[in-house]
Amino acid sequence: MNDNYDSFNEEDGVFESISRFEEMVNRNDSYYFDIYEFENIIDYYLDQHNFVNATSAIERGLKQHPFSASLILRLAQIYIQNGKPSKGLQCLRDIEPVESSNFELYLLKGTALNVLGRKDEAHQAFDKAIVLTIDSKDDVVFSVACSYLNTRRYNLAIRYLYLAHEINPQNLSVIHELALVYEKTDQLDKSIKFYHKYLNIDPYAEHIWFNLGMVYSSLEEHEMAIEAYDYAIAICPDYISAYFSKANTFVNLEKYYEAIESYRQILFLEPDNMQAYSYIGECYDKLGMYKRSIYFYRKALTVDNTFGDAWYGLGMSHFNMKDYATCIQLFKEANKTDPENPDYWYMLGETYRKLDQFEKSAESYNRAVELDPNDYEAWLSHADIFFMENKVSEAISLLNKAYEYNMDVSTINYNLAAYYLYDNQPHLAGKYFEKGLLINFDEYGDLFDRFPLASNNEIFSQLIRKHKKLSQ
């Protein structure tokens, strides 16, 4: 009870000091504060990330206590955090002779040197900070690891995180950071290991269950991901992100009814969630239930009629119903909301093509590839229009341009092979056909279905036999 009283009393004293300090600043006056009061005031502002007020407090503090090492340390910290490590180092040099046993000085010094790329000196300073630390050594080692994380030196960060974990295996911040850094460096099995370590200590951490689910999703271990999301939801029943991720996982499994149920849970919590309405619409579209999908896309638009994905989804449902005349207006509405979205332009091009409006179709495809040169389907569709119009040279020219961005797409290579064949350039036809075989051998059958001349070509037949033997 006395401890609580002392704690409250101390907190009241801090806020009283802050109030007096702000009154002094507002009145442009000068009040006396001892060093400990200035330290509390500065630390309060640093916790609030209010560097302007923290710097002001340091400057005023140094006027009253010009040789205070603790205030100079805090000034160095602000310089380093605000991207001025050289100034921070200068502050630290000034007090290092009298603060040579202070681990905080060497921790800040190592951080500044690390930012400046002076790796060996940083390493020495950090190690000195660790040696000088008596209490909470794992927290200091963790701070060193965070410095290396901030400069993307992940191997060194992992080394220090492991050291911190050895010192204190129960430090959840360290375990969490190890899981995150392994996730960031695509070492997902190790990430899972540390998320489970965290959960063995704190099984009710819903955000850790969620993160674990996301890693399982990345590994396409969908059932494990759903189980993790379910734990997160059980602990926190209004965890919207977990419902979304669970539903998206069901979509990846093509379990659309289960996905719809998860999206409906979101609507129960947030009745105006336009994304949930739109995703339900997409699920019904996948199920071929277009009237239902249209209903839910419309519901999304009643929440926000500038939601481009809902206009696009509406267009897709009408496209799948072969209602192409309606599609045009819907895809145009999507384009109004986001004229930089290549998918919207591509589908507008597809719709114009269905209506035999080839000029407008080509314009839409061209806009799609301007926005995303890697959209190989738009390149292929545009080239196909040229081919249909017997403009084989133009089709070849277009796909050669597409090839610069999509050389590893088998369909680009196969189509180039076919066009060169129709253009009576068998050598180039063979060259691109072989490239297509190397990328995706099984796909050559699609080429023969679309281009009958290719199926009877001896060069292609020889290349197929050659690569079939190599794959055996």
In DSSP notation, 415-455 reads HHHHHHHHTT-HHHHHHHHHHHHHH-GGGHHHHHHH-HHHH
Which residue, chain included where needed, has tokens 């267009």? 315
| Other CB atoms within 10 A of residue 401 CB | 14
| Residues 441, 467 contacting (CB under 8 angstroms) | yes
What integer pLDDT is reported at residue 471 of this predicted model?
Answer: 62
Beta carbons within 8 Å of 7's beta carbon, 6+ residues apart: none
Burial label for 60, CB within 10 Å (0-12, 13-18, 19+), is: buried
User: pLDDT at position 11, please?
Assistant: 62
Angle at 167 between CA 163 and CA 171, to 5 degrees: 95
The vertex-147 CA angle with 146 and 149, nearest 5°, equals: 60
What distance separates the 2 farthest-apart alpha carbons in the chain? Answer: 96
> Could you tell me which residues come within 8 angstroms of residue 347 by beta carbon, excluding any fewer than 6 positions away?
312, 315, 316, 319, 327, 331
> Cα dihedral angle (152, 153, 155, 158), rounded to 10 degrees?
-70
Specify the pLDDT at position 7.
40
Structure tokens at 418: 């076919």
Q: What pLDDT does residue 1 have?
A: 40
Nearest CA to 212 among 200, 230, 229, 235? 229
Residue recorded with tokens 């310089």: 79
Amino acid identity, residue 412?
I
Closest CA to 229 of 248, 213, 247: 213
In this structure, which long-range contacts are made by residues 132-139, counting pairs with CB atoms below 8 Å and at least 24 apart in sequence?
132/101, 132/102, 132/103, 132/106, 133/103, 137/167, 138/164, 138/165, 138/167, 138/168, 138/171, 138/174, 139/164, 139/171
Question: What angle in degrees, to the nearest 10, is found between the helix axes of 154-167 and 137-150?
Answer: 170
Residue with tokens 């105006």, as numbered in its chain: 272
SS3 content of the chain, % helix, strand, coil (to 5): 80, 0, 20
DSSP for residue 375: -
Identify the pLDDT of residue 39. 87
Measured from the Cβ of residue 196, the count of other Cβ atoms closer than 10 Å reads: 13
Backbone angles phi, psi at 343, to 5 degrees: -65, -40
The pLDDT value recorded for residue 467 is 83
Residues of the chain with pLDDT under 50: 1-9
Q: Which pLDDT score, from 0 to 100, does residue 392 have?
A: 95
Q: Which of 437, 449, 442 is nearest to 459 (CA)?
A: 437
Q: Kindly report the average pLDDT of the chain as a whole number.
A: 92
Total residue count of the chain as it appears in this document: 472
> What does pTM read for this prediction?
0.82
